Amino acid sequence: MLIIKDLHASVEGKEILRGINLTINAGEVHAIMGPNGSGKSTLANVLAGNTNYEVTKGEVTFNGKDLLSMTADVRAKEGLFLSFQYPVEIPGVSMINFLKTAVNESRKYHQLKELSAGDFLKVMREKKEMVQIDSQLTNRSVNEGFSGGEKKKNEIFQMAMLEPKLAILDETDSGLDIDALRIVANGVNLLKRAENATIVVTHYQRLLDYIVPDFVHVLYKGQIVKSAGKELVLELEEKGYDWIKKELGE
């Protein structure tokens, strides 16, 4: 589904990603872990098409297509979704108008008929129940005045509405209390299908107790320095990241 080859990226002239190689197949859950500043969020943003990051080398194919040549909105329409670490508040843009536009833009792209207002509201009701988001939130402006937990739930709600092939969850657990974390993780698990995949970017293991990964990668100084199964999560929890640094001879 996603093949990343020797990906280099920099921001304001400073190289952050220094040769990432990663292959993700349908049905898989990958965790990307690593200490602060290792490049986890940069990778998520580069994949989503944030133009503040400059790709200097490498290639990424997404379902056989060149991902890096697509604008952010086309990547989304092709089925890539980024759950933001810090979801943006957009006063004046109503949740309903925002989601309706997003869903229908994608449907148009795939030459499907746009959803009628009635059908859209029906779908929205179903998904709201699925991810247990407060009904009132969808009557407000996008993320405006939402609590930290509400913002993260809203990300998962949007994911449910857009049904992406590949979801990248960037530090979705940061700042979440344990109840909200369970709800968010539960939402992600309910949305899991054999034909889609998930990348969970996180600093801690806690989220991975709920969203169990098939593969775990450690990102350090802009490179994947270790890949293993879910047992690596426990090892990292016990020993921290320092033993990896030692292994690397630092």
49 forms part of the interface with another protein (CB under 8 A): yes
Q: Does residue number 131 form part of the binding site for another protein (CB under 8 A)?
A: no
Specify the stretch interacting with another protein by CB under 8 A; choose among 44-52, 201-209, 216-224, 232-240. Answer: 44-52
Rg (Cα) of the chain, in Å, rounded?
A: 18
Should residue 98 be labelled a site residue for another protein when binding is judged by CB under 8 A? yes
Q: Is 162 an interacting residue with respect to another protein (CB under 8 A)?
A: yes
Question: CB of residue 69 vs another protein: minimum separation in angstroms?
Answer: 15
Q: Which stretch binds another protein (CB under 8 A): 77-85, 118-126, 131-139, 210-218?
A: 77-85
Total residues contacting another protein (rule CB under 8 A)?
Answer: 31
Give the shortest CB-174-to-another protein separation in angstroms: 17
User: Which stretch in 33-41, 97-105, 190-198, 205-213 sits in contact with another protein by CB under 8 A?
Assistant: 97-105
Contacts 24+ apart (CB under 8 A), 16-22: 16/42, 16/53, 16/222, 17/42, 17/43, 17/46, 17/222, 18/221, 18/222, 18/223, 19/57, 19/58, 19/222, 19/223, 20/58, 20/219, 20/222, 20/223, 20/224, 21/224, 22/217, 22/224
Q: Smallest distance from the beta carbon of 202 to another protein, in angstroms?
A: 19
Q: Could you tell me the two tokens for 247?
A: 């292994």
Question: Kind and range of the H or E element at 61?
Answer: strand 54-62
Burial of 153 (0-12, 13-18, 19+ CB in 10 A): buried
Residues engaged in binding another protein (CB under 8 A) = 48-51, 71-73, 75-77, 81-82, 84, 87-93, 97-98, 101-102, 105-106, 109, 141-142, 158, 162
